[in-house]
Structure 1
Amino acid sequence: MGIDVTAERVIPLPCERVASYAMDWRHDAEWTQGIRTAELTRQADGGGFGVGAEVTRTAYFLGKRIAYVLRVADYEPPRLLDMVSVAGPMPMHVTYTFTPTSDESTVARIRVRGDPSGLYGLAAPLMGRKVRSSLVKDLRDLERRLSGA
C-alpha cells in the first residue's frame, strides 16, 4: 500500500516570492517539519541547483532519525519543483507547485508519494496521516515565515 498525500494553502503573497523561498534548499529546515539539516550534495548538470542536483536531508519522522537524498527531476521556477529519492528508508516522490491567483496570492501545494516497505509498510496508514499533518504544518509555517507573523 503506497502513500499519496497532498496539502495546499493559499498564501497571500506573490507567487515568485513564495516559490523562490520554498524552492531554495537552504531554507528547508526553517519551514519543513522534522528536517534538521539540508545540504546540496550534488550540483545540477549545469552547476548550482536545478535538474540533476541532489539535496541530502536529515530529519526526524515517527521518532526516528532518517537521512535521505532527493534528486531534482523537474525544476521550472516559480511554478514547479519535482524531486525523487535516490537514497533513504523508502522510495519517495515530492512535488511542490505554486500557482498565482488573480489577487496576487499563491496556491502552494505539496504532494508526497511513497512506497513504504518492511516496518514502514505496516505503518502506511499511520504514515499517510502523519505526512498529511506535517505538510499542512509546513505550508502554515511557510506562510508565517514569509509574512513575518
Structure 2
Amino acid sequence: MTIDETAERLIPLPPDQVAGYAMDWRHDPDWTQGIREARLTREADKGGFGVGAEVTRTAYFLGKRIDYVLRVAEHVPLRLLDMVSVAGPMPMHVTYTFAPHARGTLARIRVQGDARGYYRLAAPVMARKVRSSITKDLRDLERILTPAR
C-alpha cells in the first residue's frame, strides 16, 4: 500500500531562518516526531551536506525502534530538501519545501512510502500517523523558532 501524505504551515519568519534550521540534519531530533538521533553517515559528493549525503535516523514508530538512512537526492539551499531511503524498513521519499510568502515562509513536508510486510498490515494506521506527525513537526518547528512572541 502506498502512503502519500503532505502537511504545510505558514511560519511568520523569513525562509533563511525557517529553512536554515529545518534543513540542518543536526536539528532533526528537536522538531521531527519520533526521531531520537540523527547522524551524517556519508558526506555529499563534494563534501559536507548536499546531494549524495546520507543521514541515519533512529526513530520510534508504533512503539518499534526504526533505523533508516535517507540519501539527499536534491538540495536547493533554503528552498528544497528531497531525500530517499536507502536503508530501512520500507521505501520512503521525504520532501521539505520552503517558499517565501508575504507573511513569512510556507513550509511543506511530503512523505511518500510503500508499506510492505509488517507495515503493510498497519498501512491505514501509518498513513494517519504520518499525517499527524508531519503536521506536528511543522507546528513544533514554528514553536522552536518563534518562542514566546
Considering only aligned residues, what root-mean-square deviation do their CA atoms show, in Å?
0.6
Identity %: 76
Q: For 2:5 and 2:25, locate their aligned partners in 1 and report how far apart those are by CA, in whole Å.
A: 21
Which residue pairs with 1:45 in the alignment?
45
Q: Gaps (5+ residues) in structure 1?
A: none
Partner SS, residue 26 of structure 1: helix
Q: Does 1:128 align with 2:127?
A: yes
Could you give the per-residue CA deviations for residues 6-46 of structure 1, whole angstroms, max 9, x where no partner exists?
A: 00000000011100000000000000000000000000000
What are the equivalent positions in structure 2 for 1:21-36 lying under 5 Å apart?
A: 21-36=21-36
Q: Gaps (5+ residues) in structure 2?
A: none
Which residue pairs with 1:15 in the alignment?
15
What are the equivalent positions in structure 2 for 1:73-112 lying under 5 Å apart?
A: 73-103=73-103, 105-112=104-111
Q: Look up the equivalent residue of 1:94 and give its one-letter code.
A: V
TM-score normalized by the length of structure 1: 0.98
TM-score normalized by the length of structure 2: 0.98
Moved over 3 A (4+): none
Q: For 2:17 and 2:46, locate their aligned partners in 1 and report how far apart those are by CA, in whole Å.
A: 24
Q: For 1:89 and 1:41, locate their aligned partners in 2 and report how far apart those are by CA, in whole Å.
A: 18
Q: CA deviation at 1:119?
A: 1.4
Q: CA deviation at 1:128?
A: 0.2
Q: Look up the equivalent residue of 1:130 and give its one-letter code.
A: K
